[in-house]
Amino acid sequence: MKRANLLRDVLFFAITIAIPIITPSPLWAAEVHKELGALLPLWSIIPFAGILLSIALFPLLAPHFWHNHFGKVSIFWSVIVAAPFLLAFKGAALHEILHVYIADYVPFIILLWSLYTVAGGILLRGKLRGTPLVNTGMLVVGTALASWVGTTGAAMLLIRPFLRANALRKRKAFMVVFFIFLICNIGGSLTPLGDPPLFLGFLHGVPFFWTFKILPQMLVMVGILLVIYFVLDTINYKREGPLPFEEEREKLRIVGSINFLFLLGIVLAVLFSGLVHLGEVEILGVERSVESLIRDGGMIVMGLLSLRFTPWRIREENEFTWFPIQEVAILFAGIFMTMIPALAILRAGEEGAARALIASVKEPYHFFWITGGLSSFLDNAPTYLTFLNTALGRFFVGIPERTAVAHLIAQKGIYLRAISAGAVFMGANTYIGNAPNFMVRSIAEEAGIKMPSFFGYILKYSLVFLIPSFILVTLIFFR
């Protein structure tokens, strides 16, 4: 009872503090009919920074509290945004919140849940020895798969076999980090099936196979990271000594292979939603395309079929639990709510509080770094769309969108390549840059691996390995 009262008092205090932060001035309140992003002050993103800091610091400073109460923390920051936002903008704010959850969050979680469920029913039996060569080979396979089954699909398919292969290795955190770099992010660069921003581009007129234009940039990144990984793994492998030899080694075989059919069904459902147009329907005032609802329903069916036709003992042997997807669903519910002001300000372009930032984006390398930098912390799909529209507005004003996209590809293709590469590649910079990053970390921690903290990941890995690689890509391709 005391805890409930304390939580209530803290929420009340937080809302009281937050109202002057988010609430517009009387002049703004009179102009609520305008684009919300043009009305919100820059400091309205403070709660978003708050939830990111909570994710970064609580596991370090109060791990027991975080493990038991991370859901309450997510709700806490969500209320800080939602209450004053609704108070200030009323119906417009309610529509914005409903839109984020109905059009973005729910499909996002359905996709993650279906892929997590289906991939969890595929078990690789037999022993792989986690040598540097074997590990590098698995990273290559996963990176190649990611563009065709999605970064989430490839990650969920391979993370458990990857961890089991290295069960006897002592230093494993760096292996998981490079798994995140390559399979959860950069590998999804080649098709709209690979990563959400590219799929969004496909829906807005970018041809399906145009994304192969990013192949040179992808190969440079993959080549650099694989070489670094192999060197690091070789050094650590020699320090640890050879793995114990097992006289009887079970032959490698796949169990639960029926789930590959369900995985194919998910991929086809995603592709269907991009190729077929069946009109629009309204759900609580939010427009959803009929084909997207069919896609979501199809993915749910694939997940349920996987649960029905996969013996649970296979999932148990695969060390499958629901906690990683639950953690992602709960934390990202808060992240989606708190990022509403940030995304609205970005959408407002030069009319919003980030006008100086938007106006300064002119050269290809500007688009690469600003799209990538923001995609490291925000949802990379709307960030991609924001800067795609920025490029279209800069070069092809007043032209219908699909025609403008065609002109951009034909005349200024380097800008679209920069936007696409930035959105996909730099999701690897943080745990929240792409959803599979967080899921892989959660699965690794469940397996007993001590993963770096939120800031430790950035300081020890992203700044050391990714940023120099991105600088090299910039100098080669986007100057």
What is the model's pLDDT at position 34?
Answer: 45
Report the interhelical angle of 435-446 vs 132-165 (nearest 10°).
Answer: 70
Cα(123)–Cα(318) distance, integer angstroms: 6
Unique residue bearing structure tokens 């074997």: 134
Q: What would the pLDDT profile of 168-222 be if each residue is shown by its tens digit?
A: 888 999 999 999 999 999 999 998 888 888 888 887 888 888 999 999 999 999 9
Report the candidate in 282, 295, 337 with the shortest Cα–Cα distance to residue 105: 337
pLDDT in tens, 394-448: 888 778 777 888 999 999 999 999 999 999 999 999 998 888 898 899 999 988 9
Cα of first residue to Cα of last residue in the chain, in angstroms, is: 61
Q: Residue for token digits 């919003």?
A: 352
Tokens of 456: 């430790």
Q: Is the pLDDT of residue 243 over 70?
A: no
- Confidence grade of residue 245 (pLDDT, cut at 50, 70, 90): low
* Integer Cα distance of 149 and 266 in angstroms: 9
Residue ranges of the domains in the chain? 1-89, 120-256+310-477
Q: What is the mean pLDDT of residues 319-333?
A: 89
- Which pair of tokens denotes residue 398? 């007043």
CA distance 147 to 65: 38
Instruction: Band the pLDDT of 349: cuts 50, 70, 90.
Output: confident
Predicted TM-score of the model (pTM): 0.82
- C-alpha 16/C-alpha 38 separation (Å) is 24
**For 241-363, where are the alpha helices, taking DSSP H only?**
259-275, 290-309, 312-317, 323-338, 340-347, 355-359
